[in-house]
Amino acid sequence: MAATAIAFSSPSSNLISTKGGDKAPRFVCCAAIPSQSTKCDIKNLLQLPINGKPKSVELSSTGTSLSFETQLLDKEVNRNTENRLRVFSGTANPDLAKEIACYLGLNLGTIDINRFADGEVYVRLQESVRGCDVFLVQPTSPPVNENLVELLVMIDACRRASARSITAVFPYFGYARADRKTQGRESIAAKLVANLITEAGANRVLACDLHSGQSMGYFDIVVDHVQGQPVILEYLMKKVNPEDLVVVSPDVGGVARARSFAKKLSDAPLAIVDKRRQGHNMSEVMNLIGDVKGKVAVLVDDMIDTAALQQLRGYQVVYLKKL
């Protein structure tokens, strides 16, 4: 009986499809695929006061008309409380930014992002953000360096435009794997990137399923670490019979994550892939510990990079599902 495998990964991860033989198990992968849509016209999705922003203060006077000073104060209060929340998108995943803005009942902020002939990034906000709480949605996914610099320039533009607060939203944190030294004379690039984002002017960051929890400590600002596990669990419970599931850890280092995932799937059985790393993006599968025959195997990992494990095992990608 052929087996089916399902792999989940962090948003904005890339996936490489491979073809297996007729008897090879199927490999089903769910990963976010960025699109190029940027405009959001959906409004009033949520019944929030004044489109999700604080209500302006109503000034009243008993028996007499408002004074000139009071009228000026009223206008100032209304101006400062309108459009306090702004969501802007970079070029990495505008579709995600659009969905976030639509959920909040907002339109995406207008921003001009271009490249000069030599590849330099140009960013200009097309609207005022003075005194606003700004959220910049820009995953630092491949091309990592390109998207990272774009995020930094966006943050700098908002800071120089007098934004009240700037939150960098990057579901995929580039360089997160370089969170420690494994050999002498190596760089801890995750700390460097955290410093760059902080120095650019961000007050807060929001990331999803970080490669390691210790990465949060590299930032000197507040970090909101969002987990995608609840969404994936809900999807599996609706689509797959719990008795057919087996949770697979793609390496020994991910056993704790896979075991936690399995417990929430009615204590599904656990399997472990024993692999040996030969170098960057190179690994050799030595053994599979556990039984996946006739089961729906769920591979739990924090990201899909080259999908080399699936190539080595002969899996075949049969469809992509956007999360």
Beta bridge partners of 121: 115
Backbone angles phi, psi at 239, to 5 degrees: -100, -25
- What are the pLDDT digits (tens) for 112-159? 999 999 999 999 999 999 999 999 999 999 999 999 999 999 999 999
Q: How far apart are CA 154 and CA 129, in angstroms?
A: 12
Cα 68 to the center of its chain, rounded Å: 49
Q: What is the pLDDT of residue 319?
A: 31
Q: Is the pLDDT confidence value at 199 over 70?
A: yes
Amino acid at 239: K
Q: How do 85-89 and 133-137 pair as beta strands?
A: parallel
pLDDT higher for 81 or 97? 97
Q: Is the pLDDT confidence value at 163 over 90?
A: yes
Q: Is the pLDDT confidence value at 34 over 60?
A: no
In 3D space, the residue among 181, 167, 312, 235 whose CA is nearest the CA of residue 6 turns out to be 235
Q: What is the pLDDT of residue 61?
A: 38
pLDDT grade, residue 214 (50/70/90)?
A: confident
pLDDT grade, residue 44 (50/70/90)?
A: very low
* Lowest model confidence (mean pLDDT) among 105-109, 134-138, 152-156, 284-288: 284-288
- What are the pLDDT digits (tens) for 238-255? 888 888 888 888 878 788
Q: State the average pLDDT over residues 30-51.
A: 42
Give the burial class of 310: count Cβ atoms within 10 A of its Cβ; 0-12 exposed, 13-18 middle, 19 or more buried: buried
pLDDT higher for 63 or 271? 271
Domains belonging to the chain, first-starting first, are: 4-32+229-278+295-321 (no CATH), 68-226 (3.40.50.2020)
Q: State the average pLDDT over residues 33-62.
A: 42
Which of 32-41, 53-62, 77-86, 191-200 has the largest mean confidence? 191-200
What pTM value is reported for the model? 0.68
Q: How do 26-30 and 4-8 pair as beta strands?
A: parallel
